Amino acid sequence: MNDLFSLQGRVALVTGGSRGIGKMIAKGFIAQGARVYISARKADACEQTAKELSQGGGKCVALPVDVSTNEGIAALVAAYGRHESKLDILVNNAGAAWLAEFDAFPEKGWDKVVDLNLKAPFFLTQALHGALQGAARPDRPSKVINIASIDGVSVNPQETYSYAASKSGLMHLTKRMALRLAQDNIVVSAIAPGAFASDMNTLARDHADEVAKRIPVKRIGTDEDMAGAAIFLASRAGDYVVGSTIIVDGGVTYARG
């Protein structure tokens, strides 16, 4: 039981790991003993975060790549392969959003968001299937954790059509992938975050007190809240959680009705 949440000796790759939820997860993994690789589109931010998270004895390596295209996915897999041959934990976190009124919503706002939020998690997992299988054992499966959103669970007032659709689709994709990859000792699950301060969720970042009034527990999520959920799924503690999406939102989804 003492090692239930340990990630000692495991290797993780977190996309979109330079900031926000990805950074929270990467930091938590390192604290539990994992060796962590982070990818992000902006090289400077990726390198800076890796340097920050490596302080104190942990290991975080930056792999600055844009995974929104199959070419980018291939580049990330190649870059990762120059460091490691196996992968214990893949966190598909890189994401984008687009806000526009219904009559003005552009095709590029659909394609950009769906390609990154829904298409990329599938094809990156596919490309890393061999590395995940290489680390997987019946008594210690590899893990794939898809980062969805509560906006894929219930509808919010904002007109983020492609974002809501992509995150809902990602949760269903998680179930389908989980059934297939379980036979390879790879456990697939997802997290649906609520209000966490990030560059994507500027409302929670810049107006936390106001946002907190609409959350049953009266606060926005913290780094520890997100890291805790991800560590649970990535560790031995989450080995029997297959295909499920854990909602981490302080109860706001149920308050929406």
pLDDT one-digit tens code per residue, 64-89: 999 999 999 999 999 999 999 999 99
Alpha helices (H) along the chain: 20-31, 43-53, 70-81, 107-114, 120-127, 129-135, 161-181, 202-206, 208-212, 223-234, 252-256
Residue 101 lies in a domain: yes
pLDDT(140) > 80: yes
pLDDT tens per residue, range 166-182: 999 999 999 999 999 99
Q: Give 240's pLDDT tier (boundaries 50, 70, 90).
A: very high
pLDDT(210) > 90: no
Q: Kindly report the CATH number assigned to the domain that includes residue 75.
A: 3.40.50.720
Name the DSSP class of 41. Answer: S
Q: How far is CA 38 from CA 17, 136, 138, 250, in A?
A: 5, 21, 27, 27
Q: Are 236 and 3 in contact (CB under 8 A)?
A: yes
Residue 180 lies in a domain: yes
Residue 257 lies in a domain: no
Residue 225 lies in a domain: yes
Question: In total, how many domains does the chain have?
Answer: 1
Q: Which domain holds residue 229?
A: 11-246
Catalytic residue among 37, 80, 161, 163: 163
Residue 59 lies in a domain: yes
Is 37 catalytic? The answer is no
Record the pTM.
0.96
Instruction: Return the structure tokens found at 57.
Output: 């004895």
Q: How many CB atoms lie within 10 A of CB 200?
A: 18
- Residue 155 CA to residue 11 CA, distance in Å, equals 36
Residue 254 lies in a domain: no
- Residue 143 CA to residue 153 CA, distance in Å, equals 23
